[in-house]
Amino acid sequence: MTMEFRTDKIASRFLGKQISGSELYDSSLLVPIPRAENRQQYNIDSANLPFDGCDVWHAYEFSALTNNGLPVTRLIKLKYSCESEFLVESKSLKLYFNSFNMSRFGDSIAECLSVCKRIIETDLSNALKTNVQINFIENDSERVEIFNNFENILNFVDETSLKIEKFSEAPELLFCNTCNELKTHYLTFDSLRSNCRVTHQPDFGEIFIYYKSDKHIDEASLIKYLCSFRSEYHFHEECCEMIYKRLYDLLKIDENKDELFVCILYTRRGGIDICPVRYSKNCAVLDSEILCDVSKYARKSIRQ
């Protein structure tokens, strides 16, 4: 049975109230959100997605206790497929993780982490009806830099000539030209901003766009389009899919020869960041494989 859970119900449960959550383990705090709510507006067919990809999360403030009361604190990295019917609402995930704070698991640090990993993967997989993988990142884990071959899109325009006037999503701003050959483009923009559609809090991120096509997207038009998200109210994952779909349609992607990749590395808020990744089915950007590997701590900038 498909679960119905609209944002007004999320608001009635968590918003406008003093929420302390629970410091004792409580899986009922998790709130799944149907992806279809937003996809329907952009002609994204969940049964025939125009992309592959996953959602990668980092939770920086996870803590639990061993049976003798010793605190164990770690960074959690988790991921699940964009093919899942649901995504998890971030405030509910934070409250869920906080419910481990005064709960006791295992006689040693290693046993505590092992038990928590099993519980969290099971709870999230059950809530989202998909396979969820998590890993605890240690303090001495290697930091892997990613997306170093992407170039700031502002390098391709005269920023003083830009006139930004629309701050609600405006796909009509986008245009492209046809070229005589397939070319690859690696672009990044570090000033993407949107707003959570539940809390209305601002979300900042750095977006990475790669495409291989015989069409060339005008960089000034792309900047204006990305700026048009500044007053939009959507979840991180939805913004990534919206941008991907607009570019997919603009370029008229032929998956036999063209490639498209969109990833947004959001700045953490409330101790959690979300990094959605979407790419055409024939596209493989090596850095995204590193980002989606829960055993690796992949970073790009100091804002993450």
Give the residue among 10, 11, 62 at the shortest CA–CA distance from 34: 10
210: helix, strand or coil: strand
HSE value, Cβ hemisphere, 13 Å, CA-based, for 26: 16
- Bridge partners (DSSP) listed for residue 297: 143
277 phi, psi to nearest 5 deg: -130, 125
Q: What is the DSSP letter of 141?
A: P
- Single-letter residue type at 222: L
Give the residue among 262, 237, 233, 236 at the shortest CA–CA distance from 249: 262
Give the integer Cα–Cα distance in Å for 279 and 290.
Answer: 14
- Single-letter residue type at 97: F
Q: Which residues are identified as catalytic?
A: 196, 203
Give the integer Cα–Cα distance in Å for 7 and 134.
Answer: 26
Residues in the chain: 304
- Single-letter residue type at 267: T
State both tokens at 122.
């099971």
Give the integer Cα–Cα distance in Å for 93 and 73.
Answer: 16
